Amino acid sequence: MTRNILIVAGDGIGPEVMGEVERVIGWFNEKRGFDASIENELVGGCCYDAHGVAVTDETVEKAKKADAVLLGAVGGPKWDNVPYEGRPEAGLLRLRKDLELFANLRPALCFAALADASSLKREIVEGLDIMIVRELTGGVYFGEPKEITDLGNGERRGVDTQVYTTSEIRRIAEVAFDLAKKRDNRVMSVEKRNVMKSGVLWYEEVKKLHGEKFADVKLEHMLADNCAMQLVRNPKQFDVIVTDNLFGDVLSDIASMLTGSLGMLPSASLGAKDASGKACAMYEPVHGSAPDIAGTGAANPIASILSFAMALRYTFELGADADLLEKAVDTVLADGLRTGDIMQPGMKKVGTKEMGDAILAALTKLNG
């Protein structure tokens, strides 16, 4: 059974980091019988330039059929003035929505070798292992109405709509509880029920589901602003955090800096299983397209490579292969290799390709 992977490398550093991922996939094909075929398509600004849209219908269809989609990054100043519907981010959001990728898993894990690269003190972040579960297809990102209207009196009005239903809240909470069971068995549900009706509903539904099905998991609730503060004060208090689309966007950026660099963080976006048991899935680094260093060969490929490790774990159910790849990254960091974003005194600075080479060499060595 050939596995079918669609790579949408996107803009900026996307193609460079995804080039290293392709080499890693090649290694797994050759050395571990992974048997994946790869197709490449455009998404984001590059797709807008070629087709006038940020993602084509054909690519969306291909993405739905693929076993896993691997995305690099989208966006850049070049597309600052394109129409809102054609902006690079629209391609990413359409893929999330059309593939119904409602569960976004964003682990924030502090590699021991990188504890000093964090802007926080070593003792605050060392050993950190948080999983942020962000709802990805609802909330203010997609709620209607979403518009700017002219009030005719020299005033305009911008509206976005924060909206959640029972089933949307229950299915994301279910993912969080299931994950917690395989970890430290603790879930922190985050909303702002003190000012938002959708927050009140979130709180009530998570609590209800917990009572019905997950009473053995420890559940606590926190307001989103407090959670942001606690993430920088004492991040190790958290195990799994479950939250909505917008709070998840913000909190996961905060969490990423605890780990040393945005260049380290992978993510998985998982869909609901259809009747045949197939679920769509997309894996992408949390970092963006970094236009300032694009094309210089300096980008850190680790977040993309670790995203592929998540694909091995969650889509292909190859836990041992995922462990091997994560161990290889760990080894390379322990050996002192660093891209510019995680560079520290006394370490060896390398580029994208050299980092890829080192990870491949570590894989071969660990594989015995």
Considering the complex, state which of residue 132 and residue 299 has its C-beta at the smaller distance from Mg ion.
132
92 binds ligand IPM, rule: CB under 6 A: yes
244 binds Mg ion, rule: CB under 5 A: no
89 binds ligand IPM, rule: CB under 6 A: yes
Map residue 166 onto helix, strand or coil. helix
CB 259 within 8 A of CB 125: yes
Least Å distance, CB 55 to ligand IPM, is 13
Q: Which does 89 bind (CB under 5 to 8 A by kind): Mg ion, ligand IPM, none?
A: ligand IPM
Q: How far apart are CA 162 and CA 186, in angstroms?
A: 27
The residues, any chain, with a CB within 8 Å of residue 42's CB and separated by 6 or more, are 8, 10, 50, 51, 55, 56, 59
16 binds Mg ion, rule: CB under 5 A: no
Considering the complex, state which of residue 69 and residue 324 has its C-beta at the smaller distance from ligand IPM.
69
Q: Which tokens hold the place of 5? A: 């992977």
Interface positions, 221-260, toward ligand IPM (CB under 6 A) = 249
Considering the complex, state which of residue 17 and residue 24 has its C-beta at the smaller distance from Mg ion.
17
Q: How far apart are CA 206 and CA 37, in angstroms?
A: 40
Considering the complex, state which of residue 89 and residue 126 has its C-beta at the smaller distance from ligand IPM.
89
Q: Which tokens hold the place of 53? A: 């849209």
Q: Which does 135 bind (CB under 5 to 8 A by kind): Mg ion, ligand IPM, none?
A: none
Least Å distance, CB 309 to Mg ion, is 21
Q: Which does 303 bind (CB under 5 to 8 A by kind): ligand IPM, Mg ion, none?
A: none
Q: Which does 178 bind (CB under 5 to 8 A by kind): ligand IPM, Mg ion, none?
A: none
249 binds Mg ion, rule: CB under 5 A: yes
What are the catalytic residues? Answer: 141, 192, 225, 249, 253
Bridge partners of 281, per DSSP, are 270
CB 341 within 8 A of CB 261: yes
Least Å distance, CB 109 to ligand IPM, is 17
The pairing of strands 268-273 and 103-109 is antiparallel
| Burial (CB count <10 Å: 0-12, 13-18, 19+), residue 64 | middle
Q: How far apart are CA 41 and CA 59, in angstroms?
A: 7
Binding site for ligand IPM (CB under 6 A): 89, 92, 249
Binding site for Mg ion (CB under 5 A): 249
